């Protein structure tokens, strides 16, 4: 998903970012995606997109209704700007278009595409059970209830909502032709052309009630984790000729450049799940047998509240066991010794300091927990990055910026996402919640949880495999993992129920 736009106000925003955000980036080569975090530290951080939407990540949420879009049918009298920003072809959208089915009003800003090449047609960013599609459309919206424009919203944790449409090569698509027929006019970077409006709704699948939803990020630098993703289950098609127009017409170089650089294969590789789950609005279909339903938000808030204000030493006796899940999954006998080893390792790691004390200061933009355990404040990623960078600079540790930001941001994002039912509650977040409590009391809770889990033994529900960690004890950004298998020491923090 592209953050770049052609609006002067967004260009102004770019000039106000730290100097390290002025770097050129590409998808391959010396400025390719494996090096993005060098200049854009959030690209190596938490809750990144895209992801591989695997069956084991899916959780059915019966509260998810159809996506409702308003004023998508534009008149041909309305002029839209089609442009080449060097990374994609992008179409500006009028602010009268918006999504009305989310808690806030999300107003449309632009749409753009990601695609493959003639030699490798697969170019979608999101994968579904490891299947990559030919291309992907992103319709980008910003939270207009809270922010005046895209520039102000892009670095806020509740700033953006993006509709993702998977595209396969097949039948000719007349809706896409409304802008693809003008693609020759924007062959080179920074070229733009005015085109007549059309029905943007026709670019989306017929059914808007079947989709995947999760918390994620921009898929291009600066990779802020500010996006509520909605990826539709059903794909649309474009013809082979239409795909070739995308894959062969455009260049990422400027007209005056001596070498013309083709613009294709402009997709980011899948990122780690980072304790996230993917909510689905549908139950039936291949890969959905046995899909878990999400626990009620009330239960999740209750768990947070107990961690925040409960007597941790008494949790084992008074409330822990009723929170432990029960289910049909059996722990295999061969796994028990491995489990004990992992639990001992977890307890040992817990005793260690997980973050430089100079970075553990609470930021005014960070999470504050209200009466019901809600994460109330919005994170501002630009200010957070500047603050952390300043602290690291004082200690001459600037090279630790990516990991330090991940350590600071992950618990905040995980808590918000957990309360919204789109994540499991991870151990780093628990540590963050318990920070400031007496160490022996917090350690006793960890010990109680381990004992309770071992007492469950044969009736434990599906649980997590241990996650490779960094020096700070956080999930490694380079370590994709299967998140639901035996080995997680605290299953009560993953309160899911089997759906018949």
My answer on whether omega of the bond before 123 falls inside 30° of 0, hence cis, is: no
Nearest partner of 383 among 364, 397, 399, judged by Cα: 364
H runs (alpha helix) in 326-426:
336-350, 381-394, 401-419
The Cβ of residue 269 has, within 10 Å, a number of other Cβ atoms equal to 12
Task: Please say whether the beta carbons of 216 and 416 come within 8 A.
Answer: no
Cβ pair 97, 107 in contact under 8 A: yes
Query: What is the C-alpha radius of gyration for the chain, rounded to an integer number of angstroms?
Result: 23
Local structure of residue 475 (DSSP, 8 states): B
Active site residues: 87
Tokens encoding 299: 């239960």
User: What sections of 280-329 are H helices per DSSP?
Assistant: 297-309, 315, 321-323
User: Is the alpha carbon torsion for 204, 220, 48, 108 positive or negative?
Assistant: negative
Sign for the CA dihedral angle at 356, 361, 367, 368 comes to positive
Counting Cα atoms < 13 Å in the Cβ hemisphere of 341 gives: 8
- DSSP H or E run through 180: helix 174-180
CA angle (257, 262, 263) in 5-degree steps: 110
Strand order from edge to edge, sheet including 127-128: 52-53, 127-128, 131-132
CA gap 70, 457 in Å, rounded = 51
Measured CA to CA, the distance from residue 87 to residue 89 in angstroms comes to 7
Query: Residue 439: which residues within 8 A CB-CB, separation 6 or more?
Result: none
Q: Which token pair is 484?
A: 């639901």
Distance CA 137, CA 165 (A): 5
């Amino acid at each position: 998903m592209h953050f770049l736009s052609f609006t002067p106000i967004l260009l102004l925003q770019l000039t106000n970012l730290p100097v390290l955000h002025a770097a050129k980036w590409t998808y391959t080569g010396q400025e390719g995606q494996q090096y993005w975090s060098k200049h854009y530290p959030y690209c190596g951080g938490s809750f990144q997109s895209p992801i591989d939407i695997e069956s084991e990540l899916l959780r059915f949420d019966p509260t998810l209704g159809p996506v409702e879009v308003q004023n998508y049918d534009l008149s041909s009298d309305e002029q839209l700007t089609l442009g080449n920003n060097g990374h994609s072809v992008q179409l500006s959208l009028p602010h009268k278009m918006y999504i009305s089915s989310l808690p806030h009003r999300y107003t449309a800003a632009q749409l753009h595409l990601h695609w493959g090449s003639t030699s490798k047609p697969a170019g979608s960013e999101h994968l579904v059970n490891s299947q990559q599609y030919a291309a992907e459309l992103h319709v980008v919206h910003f939270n207009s209830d809270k922010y005046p424009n895209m520039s102000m919203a892009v670095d806020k944790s509740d700033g953006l909502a993006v509709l993702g449409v998977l595209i396969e090569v097949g039948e000719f698509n007349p809706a896409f032709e409304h802008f693809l027929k003008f693609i020759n006019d924007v062959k080179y970077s920074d070229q733009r052309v005015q085109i007549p409006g059309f029905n943007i709704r026709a670019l989306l699948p017929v059914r808007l009630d079947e989709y995947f939803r999760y918390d994620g990020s921009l898929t291009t630098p600066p990779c802020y984790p500010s996006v509520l993703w909605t990826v539709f289950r059903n794909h649309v098609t474009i013809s082979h000729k239409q795909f070739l127009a995308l894959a062969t017409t455009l260049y990422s170089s400027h007209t005056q450049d001596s070498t013309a650089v083709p613009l294709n294969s402009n997709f980011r590789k899948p990122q780690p799940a980072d304790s996230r789950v993917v909510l689905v609005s549908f139950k039936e279909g291949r890969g959905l047998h046995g899909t878990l339903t999400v626990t009620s938000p009330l239960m999740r808030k209750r768990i947070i509240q107990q961690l925040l204000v409960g007597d941790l030493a008494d949790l084992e006796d008074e409330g822990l066991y009723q929170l432990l899940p029960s289910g049909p999954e059996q722990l295999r006998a061969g796994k028990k010794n491995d489990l004990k080893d992992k639990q001992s390792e977890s307890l040992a790691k817990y005793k260690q300091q997980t973050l430089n004390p100079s970075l553990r200061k609470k930021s005014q933009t960070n999470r504050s927990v209200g009466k019901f355990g809600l994460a109330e404040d919005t994170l501002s990623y630009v200010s957070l990055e500047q603050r952390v960078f300043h602290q690291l600079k004082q200690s001459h540790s600037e090279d630790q910026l990516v990991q330090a930001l991940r350590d600071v941001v992950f618990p905040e994002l995980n808590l918000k996402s957990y309360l919204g039912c789109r994540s499991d509650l991870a151990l780093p977040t628990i540590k963050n919640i318990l920070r400031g409590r007496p160490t022996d009391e917090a350690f006793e809770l960890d010990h109680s949880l381990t004992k309770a889990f071992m007492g469950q033994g044969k009736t434990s529900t599906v649980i997590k495999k241990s996650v490779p960690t960094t020096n700070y004890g956080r999930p490694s950004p380079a370590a994709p993992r299967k998140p639901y298998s035996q080995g997680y020491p605290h299953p009560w923090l993953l309160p899911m129920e089997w759906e018949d």
